[in-house]
């Protein structure tokens, strides 16, 4: 029996165990907390209610709770132990959670300012908040700038091709660049670990409720949001906010929740027989995403082994000990190679040669055999289109809603309309 198969093969089972345990433990706490309410919602008031404990929701909750009484409602649970191991990201997380970290280009932020008509979104205005996140040694987010061995070859290739080498978080100019990750002491860092976990037990004014599914935003006669109706492990609950209800439920669930609350396109709400509170046709429109796909895979021969992270079978025990004691070694790293930011021909024609719209990443993969007799290593080129012009939409499945379905995964209708604008495909081919 190989130790690699013995240990890593059990990861899916461990994930299931902890996910079930965390949910059951939280359910026990919920039943104890609500026992004296006799099944009747006890309305509690807060200054702010935040719906969704994702990347943005955790930051907002953490910062507001420095001064205000905050309720954070999250449909999921606490991250399970294997999710903290950087090396396991490809096994226990989806792509957005692999911990890539980018400030973006100043032109991105200036574009948001122009789009919204709000100058506070300009780069020079948001830069102070980026610095507050991770600059120096005291920020809540730890940025790992370790350079992998393969970077030296990537930089040599950049020089041969005449490309600039640059810091990916130094205004993100078109260039070859290393990947930067949110990793601290070998463990993945997130806005949950930075803004919520350290304060949840010590700030009496920060309440985090897990496994909470928000069913509706409550609106008063003036259509001002004053609270939410949600279930906690299926038990109906109501909470009020004296200042604001902040919707941070993601690109799919946020517009869906608005529509379920009577805010959205009139024709959709009427089809679902939901009373129209506020007719806003734009709700659910303008869906935009970074299309990401593999463009080429190939193999390195054994001469590439010094540049590829790997763990030999005979070194596994030492690797386990090193990681648990120091957070260092291969297990404390993410399998992500270097990258390049590229301005397409479309960007150049449109007068934006300094604003990259394509990102190419070289991803190397540790041999699954964990042995020293492997004579080749697989690598892939992945391409990401960062400034697509195509726009999609999110809507409500009115037929399912009228049939009594309340599972949001079955109620949401998503139409990405990827490559609906023909020049987006030209950019992909250009990349």
Nearest to 107 by CA among 62, 45, 27, 171: 171
Residue limits of CATH 3.30.560.10 in the chain: 103-188+288-430
Alpha carbon distance 360, 267 (integer Å):
41
pLDDT in tens, the chain (431 residues): 788 889 888 999 999 999 999 999 999 999 999 999 999 999 999 999 999 999 899 999 999 999 999 999 999 999 999 888 887 754 333 334 567 778 889 999 999 999 899 999 999 998 888 777 655 566 788 877 777 788 888 999 999 999 999 888 888 889 998 888 888 888 888 899 999 999 999 999 999 999 999 999 999 999 999 999 999 999 999 999 999 999 999 999 999 999 999 999 999 999 999 999 999 999 999 999 888 888 777 777 777 777 777 777 888 899 999 999 998 888 887 766 789 999 999 999 999 999 999 999 887 765 444 555 555 667 788 899 999 999 999 999 999 999 999 998 899 999 999 999 999 999 998 87
**Cα pseudo-dihedral 419, 424, 430, 431, rounded to 10:** -80
Alpha carbon distance 408, 403 (integer Å):
13
Which CATH code fits 103-188+288-430?
3.30.560.10
DSSP 66: T
Q: In what order do the strands lie in the sheet with 358-364?
A: 175-177, 339-342, 358-364, 376-385, 291-301
Q: Which CATH class is domain 3-79+192-250?
A: alpha beta
Phi, psi at 101, each rounded to 5°: -135, 120
* 214 annotated ligand binder: yes
- β-bridge partners, 236: 231
DSSP H/E element including 217 = strand 212-219
Q: Are 240 and 99 in contact (CB under 8 A)?
A: no
Question: In 10 A of CB 205, how many CB atoms?
Answer: 15
Buried b (16+ CB within 10 A) or exposed e, 164-197: ebbebbeebbbbbbbbbbbbbebbbbbbbbbbbb
Determine the 3-state secondary structure of 130 from DSSP: helix
Task: Enter the pTM of the model.
Answer: 0.90
**How far from chain centre, in Å, is Cα 274?**
31
Residue limits of CATH 3.50.50.60 in the chain: 3-79+192-250
């Amino acid at each position: 029996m190989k130790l690699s198969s013995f240990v890593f093969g059990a990861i899916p089972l461990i994930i299931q165990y902890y996910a079930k345990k965390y949910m059951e433990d939280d359910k026990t706490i919920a039943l104890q907390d609500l026992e004296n309410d006799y099944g009747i919602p006890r309305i509690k008031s807060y200054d702010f209610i935040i719906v969704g404990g994702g990347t943005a929701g955790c930051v907002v909750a953490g910062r507001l709770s420095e001064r205000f009484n905050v309720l954070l409602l999250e449909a999921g649970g606490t991250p399970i132990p294997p999710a903290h191991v950087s090396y396991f990201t490809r096994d226990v997380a989806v792509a957005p959670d692999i911990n890539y970290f980018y400030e973006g280009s100043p032109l991105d932020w200036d574009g948001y300012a122009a789009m919204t008509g709000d100058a506070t979104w300009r780069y020079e205005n948001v830069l102070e908040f980026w610095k507050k996140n991770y600059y120096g040694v005291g920020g809540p987010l730890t940025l790992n700038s370790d350079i992998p061995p393969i970077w030296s070859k990537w930089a040599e290739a950049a020089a041969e091709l005449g490309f600039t080498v640059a810091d990916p978080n130094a205004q993100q100019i078109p260039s070859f660049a290393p990947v930067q990750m949110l990793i601290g002491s070998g463990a993945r860092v997130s806005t949950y670990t930075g803004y919520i976990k350290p304060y949840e037990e010590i700030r009496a004014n920060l309440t985090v409720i897990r496994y909470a599914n928000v069913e509706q935003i409550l609106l008063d006669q003036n259509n001002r949001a004053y609270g939410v109706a949600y279930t906690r492990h299926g038990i109906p609950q109501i909470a009020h906010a004296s200042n604001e209800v902040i919707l941070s439920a993601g690109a799919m669930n946020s517009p869906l929740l608005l529509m379920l609350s009577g805010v959205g396109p009139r024709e959709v709400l009427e089809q679902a027989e939901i009373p129209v509170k506020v007719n806003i046709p734009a709700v659910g429109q303008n869906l935009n995403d970074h299309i990401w796909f593999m463009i080429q895979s190939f193999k390195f021969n054994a001469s590439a082994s010094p540049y590829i992270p790997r763990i030999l079978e005979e070194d596994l025990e030492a690797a386990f000990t090193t990681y648990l004691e120091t957070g260092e070694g291969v297990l404390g790293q993410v399998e992500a190679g270097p990258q390049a930011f590229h301005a397409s021909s479309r960007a150049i024609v449109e007068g934006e040669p300094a604003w990259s719209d394509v990102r190419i990443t070289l991803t190397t993969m540790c041999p699954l055999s964990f042995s020293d007799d492997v004579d080749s290593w697989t690598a892939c080129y992945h391409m990401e289109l960062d400034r697509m012009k195509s726009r999609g939409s999110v809507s409500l499945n009115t037929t399912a809603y009228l049939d009594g379905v309340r599972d949001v995964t079955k109620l949401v209708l998503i139409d990405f309309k990827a490559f609906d604008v023909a020049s987006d495909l030209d950019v992909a081919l250009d990349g």
